[in-house]
Amino acid sequence: MLAPFGYYNDRPLFVARGVKSVNGIKMISNSTFKFRVMQNNFVIDAIAPSLANKSHLVTNNKSFSVIYTIDGIGQGNIKFPQLNIKDIAPDD
């Protein structure tokens, strides 16, 4: 077993419903985009690898749900939280 995350101990997945995108999206490759997620006036950076086909759900000014893990981005000892989006679905 590897700690804290490894073969027998996957990163935990979280769900957030009723989120919105602020400031649009930024395509960083053909399949990946970055955006900022807002829920209850809290904003955090997010990256959506291999989800470019769902970018329309983020840019239509409607709320949506995300499944994600939490990563840290940055250099050295300074890290900032970023959501690593695993899936996006419209709120109905």
pLDDT tens digits for range 66-84: 999 999 888 888 989 999 9
Residue 74: per-residue pLDDT: 86
Structure-token pair, residue 11 = 């990163």
**Which of residues 3 and 75 earns the better pLDDT score?**
75
Asked whether the beta carbons of 72 and 81 are under 8 A apart, the reply is yes
- Model confidence at 8: pLDDT above 90: no
Asked whether the beta carbons of 63 and 91 are under 8 A apart, the reply is yes
Give the tens place of pLDDT for each residue, 40-61.
999 999 999 999 999 999 998 8
Reduced to 3 states (helix: H, G, I; strand: E, B; else coil), residue 17 is strand
Mean pLDDT of the chain: 91
Among residues 37, 18, 39, which one has the least CA distance to residue 85?
A: 37
Please tell me the distance from the alpha carbon of residue 81 to that of residue 65, in angstroms, as a whole number: 19
Q: Delineate the domains of the chain, giving CATH numbers in brackets.
A: 14-90 (2.40.50.140)
- Model confidence at 1: pLDDT above 60: no
